[in-house]
Amino acid sequence: MKQDITEKIDLYTEYNVINNDSDDNLNENSEDQNPKFLFTSTNTKLLLKIAIGKINCQEYAKRELVNRGFGSKGEWLGFKEAENYWKPKVK
């Protein structure tokens, strides 16, 4: 059964709320941290490619974390260490 991306995000958010994962728990009161608003400013052509699976958002998120030098808990690792940690498949 195919799942809508917003359903997956809702399930992820519900999982974190239920399991009380404070590090991963998204603040539903803040629009900039609410996954429901993640794609509001995304170009429609890009959004369509994401929806049909031609763009792997997870790999681009990893690349962005490398570009910021962060590890899995938002801690500063440095750029080289973050690259080694995330190993994104996109450049």
* pLDDT tens digits, 22-62: 555 555 568 889 999 999 999 999 999 999 999 999 999 99
What are the residue ranges spanned by the domains of the chain?
1-55, 56-91
Phi, psi (5° rounding) for residue 67?
A: -60, -25
Contact 17, 25 (CB under 8 A): yes
The CA distance from 13 to 15, in Å, is 5
Residue scoring higher pLDDT (22 or 86): 86
| pTM, full prediction | 0.65
